[in-house]
Chains A and B, each alone.
Chain A
Amino acid sequence: MQYEAPETTKAAVSLLAKAKGSAYVLAGGSDLLVRMKGGFIEPDLIVDIKRIKAMREVKKTASGFSIGAAVPCAELGENKALVKAWPGVVEAANLIGSKQVQGRCTISGNLCNAGPAADSVPAMVAAGAKAVIQGPKGKRTVPVEAIPVGPGKNSLKKGELVEAIVLPARKPKSGDAYLRFIPRTEMDIAVVSCGVNLTIDGKGVVTAARVALGAVAPTVLLVEAAAKAIIGSKLDDAALDKLGAAASAACRPIDDKRGTIEFRTKVAAVLAKRAAQIAYTRAGGK
């Protein structure tokens, strides 16, 4: 195995594009090293992106926040401006694994590994986050939901890597939240999860919303019907019930050791309602 730690994105892309055998990007390594250890993969090349300075930064710009692909989740929780603007995204990132894992893992890695139960992904999808991709043909930007295409499979082409995740600039009176169900209190994988992001007007009426569900389909789902259920409402009980019904209706889960189809479908509604209420309160609604 060859290990490379380039200092520029261009060099990283070049290494990945020219690789003859199996090549993997190393950010936090909390998935990659586990898969290597388990013998599931035998990389010929690992490209560590943590020496690329631009990928180690969280930048606040007029168009929002740009979170470099090598920024560990623990750093997101320490960034006060980011926590204030996107508390739901940060709480999702800080639910991944343990403090030790959070010291390494990244939201870009969480996205590219394409786990259906990835904690940070529903929150990013709800936030309307975009992934900035660099590759042999240059730069392209896609909505984050375009990256995972199935369990463990992503849409990146040979030589491509995610350089940063961009969260849009925050409109006034906006809030987001992420909730997951796990049978323990920490250190577990979501059985069902939900991210909600919304904006309200001066009267407390929801003017925009995005709702995403995790662990209830092969990929994280953006549920437009669930968002429509609360847009135009003050998040009254009737709107919340419609939201819950739309969330349940979108579920296409599997039965496995962590939860049944019936349980996941029901809990999706509960989490969607609760996450929406938290997001609403954070937006300043009452």
Chain B
Amino acid sequence: MAVIVSTTVNGDDVQFACEPDETLLDALRNRLGLTGAKEGCGTGDCGACSVTVDGRLVCSCLVLGVEAEGREIETVEGMADGATLHPLQTKFLEHAALQCGVCTPGFLIAAKALLEKNPDPSEEEIRFGLAGNLCRCTGYDKIVRAVQDAAKEMRGA
């Protein structure tokens, strides 16, 4: 039997109905039409479904939709400020840090969470911090450069 869930997504109060065993990822994509978070593995290994719940980075494929009740969810759709892209988004474009793009929303959310905790990470810290996000196109180098560059800009350096 479907359950009605009231939650906040990217600052907006929303309600959706979902099955008790439905993941937050499926609820975001199929109930709310927020298709930024992707299903790669569905088992928490690839990070393509990364979102934050109450500010904590998680794989939305490993969260039940019903768990979102009363929580604050942030997805890639909330990163840009209107037409102004987040610095991470701009730098991903400038550095061509994506090819097929399936992993990109997850990388952006994970990189944002990383920089909020550590505004000046070393390359090693970035690579470890983003180890839960898999990319099968880029070889990661351009992603790391984009995050370094965005971090620099966000520090105002």
Contacts and interface: CB of A to CB of B under 8 A. Distances in A.
Interface size class of B (residues with CB under 8 A): 20 to 34
Contacts of B129: 99
B59 A101 contact: yes
Interface string A179-216: 00000011100000000000000000000000000000
A100 to B, nearest CB: 4
Interface stretch (B9-17, B42-50, B143-151): B42-50
Contacts of B64: 3, 26, 29, 33, 46, 48
Interface in B20-72: 20-21, 23, 42-45, 47, 50, 53, 56-59, 61-64, 66-67, 69
A228 interface: no
The winner among B21, B43, B63 for most chain A CB atoms within 10 A is B21
B125 to A, nearest CB: 11
Contacts of B61: 33, 37
A106 B1 CA distance: 29
B78 interface: no
A2 interface: yes
Contacts of B69: 5
A82 interface: no
A97 B62 CA distance: 12
Given A33-B64, A34-B62, A3 B20 contact: yes
A106 to B, nearest CB: 13
A101 B44 contact: yes
A116 interface: no
A28 B44 CA distance: 12
Contacts of B110: 99-100
Nearest to B54: A103
Contact of A72 (B44, B56, B113, B114): B56
A104 interface: yes
Interface in B109-145: 110, 113-114, 128-129, 131-133
- Best-buried of B43, B45, B58 by chain A (most CB within 10 Å): B58
Contacts of B114: 99
Contact of A46 (B20, B47, B63, B131): B20
Interface of B: 3, 19-21, 23, 42-45, 47, 50, 53, 56-59, 61-64, 66-67, 69, 110, 113-114, 128-129, 131-133
CB-CB nearest 9 A-B residue pairs: A98-B132, A3-B20, A186-B131, A103-B56, A100-B59, A103-B58, A1-B21, A100-B132, A34-B43
Interface of A: 1-3, 5, 26, 28-30, 33-34, 36-38, 43, 46, 48, 50, 72, 74, 97-101, 103-104, 185-187
16 contacts: A3-B66, A33-B63, A34-B43, A43-B21, A46-B20, A46-B64, A48-B64, A48-B67, A50-B67, A97-B44, A99-B57, A100-B44, A100-B50, A100-B132, A187-B45, A187-B132
